[in-house]
Amino acid sequence: MPAASTTTLLGRKIAAGRPAPDPAVMTAERAFHIAFARAGERQMNLPLRVVALAEQALSGPEIAEVVPEQALLLLLHGPGDGMGLAAFAPTALAALIEMLTLGRVADHPPPPRRPTRTDAALVCAFADHLLAECEALLDATEDRIWIGGFRFGTHLPDPRPLGVMLEEPAYRVFRLTLAFGLPRGPEAEVRTGEAMLAFPATG
């Protein structure tokens, strides 16, 4: 038997001996994938999915430095005066607003603009539904301690105070790329946008 075939066969045997990932185990990453899809469908009848997700541990000042430019900033209030953040970049915000007001996502995004309190009033129900879905999915896991009970608190028009307002030593920060809707033709592209969620790391 050739050496390459022997190596391939050996690799398959090793892989076969490994336990398969348990699909019943809920993780934070899996919960966000499911929660965004459910919130999009149930709040706006919008096909919405997470196409990329990265997690970081950051301080409040570091979060203030990396929030997307001109993002809609929603402060989240949680148990014990805990504070978190949901940020939607202009591309994601535009898609959400279009679906909430027009019932569909346009083929092309509008030019970026400064978000308003009206935007926050429209998007906060979606954010609360998303958080409730995540909380329910993670209820029986250790992750429940840092996401449980967080809901929309207020709109923050400027990111500069975040470094002071987010005063916990560290936050779990999730940076997500979202895909909105379905392509309308064989050459059409799905709209995408960035979002960021941050919660106190210790709950």
Q: What are the pLDDT digits (tens) for 74-100? A: 999 999 889 999 999 999 999 999 988
Four-residue CA torsion sign, 98, 102, 103, 105? negative
Question: Which string of b and e fits 26-35 if b means at least 16 CB within 10 Å?
Answer: bebeebbbbb
Q: What are the pLDDT digits (tens) for 19-57? A: 444 556 889 999 999 999 999 999 888 889 999 999 999
What is the number of other CB atoms lying within 10 angstroms of the CB of residue 54? 11
Amino acid at 16: A
Main-chain dihedrals φ then ψ at residue 179, nearest 5 degrees: -115, 130
Tell me what pLDDT residue 20 has.
Answer: 44
Q: How far apart are the first and last CA of the chain?
A: 56
Give the C-alpha separation, 108 to 183, whole Å.
11
Q: Model pTM?
A: 0.84
Question: How many CA atoms lie within 13 Å of 63's alpha carbon, on the beta-carbon side?
Answer: 37
What is the number of other CB atoms lying within 10 angstroms of the CB of residue 78? 19
Give the C-alpha separation, 173 to 169, whole Å.
13
Q: What are the pLDDT digits (tens) for 143-202? A: 888 888 999 999 999 999 999 999 999 999 999 999 998 766 565 678 899 999 999 998
